[in-house]
Chains A and B, each alone.
Chain A
Amino acid sequence: MSDVALRMEHVYKSFRKGEVFNSLRDLVPALTGRMFERRDLTGQDQREFWALQDVSFEVRRGEAFGIIGHNGAGKSTILKILSRIMKPTKGTMVVNGRLSALLEVSAGFHHDLTGRENIFLNGTILGMSRREIESKLDQIIAFSELEEFIDTPVKRYSSGMYARLGFAVAAHVDPEVLIVDEVLSVGDFMFQQRCMDRMSSILKGGTTVLFVSHNLKAVSELCSRAMLLKKGRVAVVDDTDSVVRHYLKDAQDLSADDESQPVYISKVKVCDELGERSTFESGQRAWIDVEMTARDFVEKLTVAISLVDERQYELFNTTTERLGHGRISLRPGESYRCRFELSLNMAHGTFYLGVGIRRHDIQKVYGPEAPSATVFIGSTSAVRGAVNCFPKLVESEIVPDSRLKEPPVVLEAPSS
């Protein structure tokens, strides 16, 4: 057994853009037409669209590998090629071990069948044997939390129930290589949390996981390494933290390119003692380095930073002015740098750091205050919610029922 679970080497994939004949009625006249007028063959080639170009990467056995990228970057195409649903136009790929792809967890459902029947159907589709499903049936039903409705046809399920049942089945397939596409975006918060837990335990069992998601938090919690795809090409392959930073820098570069603004944010960096990073412990100290550069003469500026949570709820903001720094004036070409220090007292989750430039006396905002960085706070088992108040359990006791006739057992008071 080799050390590599998945490998792609120089994979290209093209799709045809232009007209595709999908009925004989269109095809026959087109073919006869083609016989009489010779078409330009080079014109034909231009209608090809390259979804993937020269993609190479390797995933080691037991590793969790993430793929991120904007819509249309080619993430799903990679997964479809790896799961053999599509063939690459050029290039080779290797998969070592039993592969299971969760591209659409409820794809195999039939709406007229009951939940139980669908567990068997979908389980078989995902590659489990009948005996395997029978032995895991109770676990699957319990995981889906659909005990009451398991003998109801799934057409009466809500979309959340549907997705829960789908993931419950999928989560109990024991593959050696697992490919996951966006399936964690279903269900409510609690269910998502359990999905994440299940994924972590699958990983601990030694399964190789290839994970594609827009949920940067999920990617950085699960995956140690990741790849950033840009327009069908591999932009970076590195540890997840730095790939996520690349991804966000891309978004930031887009807004810095807007030349109509007289001043723009030229750099945002989140770091701790060891350097730039995006994952922190709850309560840890972080430094935020901001640099703004002027294109024109600007005056009376202040730099504002804010933290919003995943639901875009603002948790915190501050400005250089409120922190006691005077208003800033810059000449063309000049830059201004500052460093904020924050203690990250959020409980756990993903938070977006917004950086903006404002001029308060004329209520002007320069450029959009797009999220410039993401801060992940790792979960601490003790705290749930938005804020970490650093709780400690200082006293606890059981108080007996005072209505009982028997004299209560007197607990010895803690000696102080």
Chain B
Amino acid sequence: MSGRGQMLEHLREFIKYRGLFWMLTYRDIRVRYKQSVMGFLWAVLMPVLIVMSGVVVRFAYAFTAHVPINRADVASVAVKSLPWAFLVSSIRFSCNSLINNKELVTKIYFPKEIFPLAAVMASLFDLFVASGALLIFLFAIQVGWNIRLLWVPLLLATIVVLACGIGMIGSAAGLFFRDVKYIVEVLLTFGIFFTPVFYDARMFGDKAKWLLLNPVAPLLEGLSSSVTGRPFPDPLWIVYSVAFSAVALIGGYLFFKRLEPAFAESI
């Protein structure tokens, strides 16, 4: 069978099993919110913590630069923190999704990419819950809105696509090598220092392009500019991020499907 034919076959099968995909997403959400402490923690407390630490960092910048902190800075930190929190939690959950569902992987046949993808979807649900809180916060501090808001769906979709790609690669690799989990954990912890979440890329002047090489950076900058009115990143950078995410998704899917037949006996 040709490569393309096989891929179409895989996709058709995934569509056939979409009921299961939604069911597992529902399960992940339901289980997380059933233990109400956990649900609250993931959806609200984690983003609040990240936003608060961002505000603290911003205060430190303002203090050393002897300028007062303004509302736009706080809004920017808040708007960038939530997608980052989503990215971290979706990658964390999806990378462990195969190992956590060992029983199902070894006993029942269905397309296994359902696991990492459902984990991403469950984290997306958390993002929506947290976004509700964010909207209230943004209204409270009265930031301006502008026409760039129309970019938001594309930017968010690109982040979701990126998370799905990384999740598929991470979960498949993590099944064969148990220490992938720890490597991912370290990358997620320190990733925030290499990503403009608490700071803005423009602070680095003409060195900003090195930061924007991180595919998440243009997306976050774009999101932030839609509420702060600060300059939008060059659309070429957005194209770069979209292309990177698309490659991650397709490459991740092919990688996952290549390894899938060996899952049951290797886990």
A-to-B contact residues, CB < 8 Å: 15, 20-25, 27, 80, 83-87, 101, 103-104, 107-108, 110, 112-113, 117, 120-121, 124-126, 129-130
Main secondary structure of the interface of A (DSSP, over half): loop
Query: Contact between B30 and A103 (Cβ–Cβ < 8 Å)?
Result: no
Q: Which of B31, B104, B108 neighbours the largest number of chain A CB atoms within 10 Å of its CB? A: B108
Is the C-beta of B128 less than 8 angstroms from some C-beta in chain A? no
Q: Are A85 and B19 in contact (CB under 8 A)?
A: no
Which residue of the partner chain A has the closest CB to B35?
Answer: A112
Q: Interface residue tally of chain B, by bracket?
A: 20 to 34
How far, in whole Å, are A125 and B22 apart by their CA atoms in the complex?
11
Check A85 against B178 for contact (C-beta < 8 Å): no
Q: Looking at the assembled complex, report how far the CB atom of A128 sits from the nearest CB atom of chain B, in whole angstroms.
A: 9
Q: Are A112 and B103 in contact (CB under 8 A)?
A: no
Identify whether the interface residues of B are mostly helix, strand, loop, or mixed: helix
Contact B107 A121 (CB under 8 A): no
The chain A residue with its CB closest to the CB of B267 is A22
A86-B264, A103-B108 are contacts. A113–B178 as well, Cβ < 8 Å?
no
In B249-267, which residues have CB < 8 Å from any A CB?
261, 264-266
Q: Is the CB of A107 within 8 A of B104?
A: yes
Known contacts: A23-B179, A103-B107. The answer to whether A125 contacts B264 by CB under 8 A is no
Query: Which residues on A sit within 8 Å (CB–CB) of B178?
Result: 22-23
Interface pairs (23), CB distance under 8 Å: A15-B265, A22-B176, A24-B179, A83-B108, A85-B106, A85-B109, A86-B265, A87-B261, A101-B109, A103-B107, A104-B103, A104-B107, A107-B104, A107-B107, A107-B108, A108-B104, A108-B108, A112-B34, A113-B30, A113-B31, A124-B19, A130-B19, A130-B23
Most chain B CB neighbours (cut-off 10 Å) among A21, A23, A103: A23
Closest residue of chain B to A15, judged by CB?
B265
Instruction: For the A-B complex with A25-B179, A124-B19 known, give 14 more contacts whose Cβ atoms are closer than 8 Å.
Output: A21-B177, A22-B176, A27-B177, A83-B109, A86-B265, A87-B261, A101-B109, A107-B107, A108-B103, A110-B27, A117-B30, A126-B108, A129-B19, A130-B19
Cβ-defined contact, A125 with B103, below 8 A: no
Q: Which residues of chain A are near B103, meaning CB under 8 Å?
A: 104, 107-108
> Measured between alpha carbons, how far is A107 from B103 in the docked complex, in Å?
6
Does B110 sit within 8 A of A, measured CB to CB?
yes
Task: Kindly report which residue of chain B lies nearest to residue A109, judged by CB atoms.
Answer: B103
B 111-131 contacts with A by CB, 8 A: none
B30, B104, B179, B180: the one within 8 Å of A125 (CB): B104
Distance of A178 Cα from B19 Cα, bound (Å): 21
Contacts of B265 in A (CB 8 A): 15, 86
Q: Once bound together, how far apart are the Cα atoms of A85 and B27, in whole Å? A: 23
Q: Whole-angstrom distance between the alpha carbons of A129 and B19 in the complex?
A: 7
Q: Given A23, A85, A124, which contacts B23 in the complex, CB threshold below 8 Å?
A: A124
Residues of A within 8 A of B109 (CB): 83-85, 101
Interface centre among A20, A121, A130 (most CB of B within 10 A): A121
A125 to B177 alpha-carbon distance, docked (Å): 27
Q: How far is the CA of A20 from the CA of B176 in the complex (A)?
A: 9
A142-B60 Cα distance, complex, nearest whole Å: 64
Q: Is B20 an interface residue (CB 8 A)?
A: yes
A15-B265, A85-B109 known; A22-B31 Cβ under 8 A? no
Whole-angstrom distance between the alpha carbons of A126 and B31 in the complex? Answer: 20
